[in-house]
Amino acid sequence: MPDSTVIAIELSAVVVAMESATPTVLLTRSLDRCRAPMLPAGDFDPRRHRTFELGLRDRVARQTGLALDYVEQLYTFGDQDRLQPDAPGDITRHISIGHLGLVSQQQALRDEQTLWASWYDHFPWEDYRHGRPAIIDMIIAPALSRWTNEAPDEATREARRQRAQLAFGLNGARWVDTRVLERFELLYEAGLASEAQRHDDVEVVTSLPGEPLMSDHRRILATAMDRLRGKLRYRPVIFDLLPEHFTLSQLQLTIEAIIGCRLHKQNFRRTLDRTGLVVPTGAVDTTTGGRPAERFRFCREQWRQQMAPGVQTPLAHSEYQ
């Protein structure tokens, strides 16, 4: 008997913009206020769109009125149970092709069902800018310790212990900002993410602070955070989140907001000077409240000629090490 499974291809977008020193993502609300918000997403129409990227741009524009500056494909999400069946007996397999989109500033949204939200609303343990988040030692570490101790044998307990230590920088381990997805999937497996309640084999023991999203959209967001945190170090994508002219302090604060860690100011300036990524405009910013700050621009000429590198991120505190 032929397989009657229907494959549905969805395009989803993590659209990021900066608001002051906060990385925000574009979300859409359901008309049912009891349901969690979701990323902009919709079915791919192969008759209408030549590529996935064009389909994604069109979907976001029609859904939110937003024109994306930078877009790249993230990953294909196709877990069998990523969506609840639409009806009893529904055997549709939903495949979502996730994308990362960047815009240089928050834009007004034409639909009251859309909103900008800090990505730290969904991942509060990821923001190290003001020191180690209290949620890690007060809630996450004890909960992971209980989960570890519940393992059926010593080998499994040791594996869980090492995963928790490396993911969350426990017991003196180094905090690595590009482990966002690893941390979320560990919390999910341990029954600490509310989204895990749809699995019969995962017992949700407690819901951590951190707002859920529909379906697996928080996992898609975690994937995008990982990608952006890593990519800004080897490609100058950070400038797609900045206005055309900016101060070096504004650049530093934007990078810190994305990676969730403080940078060492002097070392950051020195490494930035060596890249040639920014050049002065000759203008100054007098709105800083202190000494006027020189304005700079991204040197796109260098990018076109020799594929400019990203920005280095020398961290400010030993607690990240």
- Whether 254 and 270 map to the same domain: the answer is yes
- For 116, phi then psi, to 5°, come to -100, 135
CATH number at residue 301: 1.10.10.10
CATH number for the domain that contains residue 103:
3.90.79.10
The DSSP result for 184-215, as a single string, is HHHHHHTT-SGGGGG-TT-----PPSS---ST
Whether residue 164 sits in one domain with residue 72 = no
Contacts of 162 (CB under 8 A, 6+ apart): none
Q: Is residue 317 part of a domain?
A: no
Q: Do 15 and 69 belong to one domain? A: yes
205 in the same domain as 294 = no
Question: Would you say residue 289 lies in a domain?
Answer: yes
Split into its structural domains, the chain has a count of 3
Q: Note whether residue 314 is domain-resident.
A: no
pLDDT number for residue 3: 57
Do 14 and 117 fall within a single domain? Answer: yes
Using CA atoms, how far apart are residues 133 and 136, in angstroms rounded to an integer? 6
Question: What is the bridge-based pairing of β-strands 7-19 and 93-102?
Answer: parallel
Sign of CA dihedral 295, 297, 302, 303: positive
Query: For residues 254 and 261, what is the distance between their CA atoms, to the nearest angstrom?
Result: 11
pLDDT at position 203: 55
**Structural domain ending residue among the three candidates 89, 121, 153:** 121
Euclidean distance between CA atoms 313 and 246, whole angstroms:
18
Residue 83 lies in a domain: yes
Whether 214 is covered by a domain: the verdict is no
pLDDT of 105 reads: 78
Residue 162 lies in a domain: yes
CA torsion angle 213 165 144 77 (round to 10): 30
The answer to whether residues 228 and 220 touch, using CB atoms and an 8 Å cutoff, is: no
Residue 41 CA to residue 98 CA, distance in Å, equals 9
d(CA 164, CA 183): 8
My answer on whether 21 and 116 are in the same domain is: yes
Residue 136 forms part of a structural domain = yes
Q: Which residue, 100, 121, 142, sits at the end of a domain?
A: 121
Question: Same domain, yes or no, for 181 and 146?
Answer: yes
| pLDDT of res. 238 | 94
Task: Say if residue 106 is in the same domain as residue 154.
Answer: no
Q: For residue 148, is it within any domain? A: yes
Measuring CA to CA, which residue among 50, 46, 45, 41 is closest to residue 74? 41
Same domain as 193, residue 98: no
Alpha-carbon distance 182 to 229, whole Å? 14
What is the rounded radius of gyration, in angstroms, for the C-alpha atoms of the chain?
Answer: 21
Tell me which residues of the chain have a pLDDT lower than 70.
Answer: 1-4, 32-34, 80-91, 108, 110, 198-207, 288-290, 302-309, 318-321
Domain boundary among 121, 149, 184: 121
Helix (H) or strand (E) holding 245: strand 245-247
Please tell me whether residue 227 adopts helix, strand or coil conformation: helix
DSSP 14-66: EEEEEETTEEEEEEE--SSTTSPPB-SEEE--TTT-SSHHHHHHHHHHHHH-P
Residues 137, 105: one domain?
Answer: no
Judge if 104 and 192 occupy the same domain: no
- Collect all residues with Cβ–Cβ distance below 8 Å to 238 and sequence separation of at least 6: 232, 251, 254, 255, 258, 310, 311
pLDDT at position 82 is 55
Q: Classify residue 200 as left (phi > 0), alpha (psi -120 to 50) or beta.
A: alpha
End-to-end CA, the chain:
57
Residue ranges making up the domain that contains 255: 235-306
Q: Which helix H or strand E contains 134, and what residues bound it?
A: helix 134-135
Distances (CA, A) of 237 to 38, 71, 93, 185: 25, 10, 34, 26
pTM, full prediction: 0.89
Q: Are 108 and 129 contained in the same domain? A: no
Which of 227-253 are b and which e, b meaning 16 or more Cβ less than 10 Å from the residue's Cβ? Answer: bbbebbbebbbbbbbbeeebbbebbbb
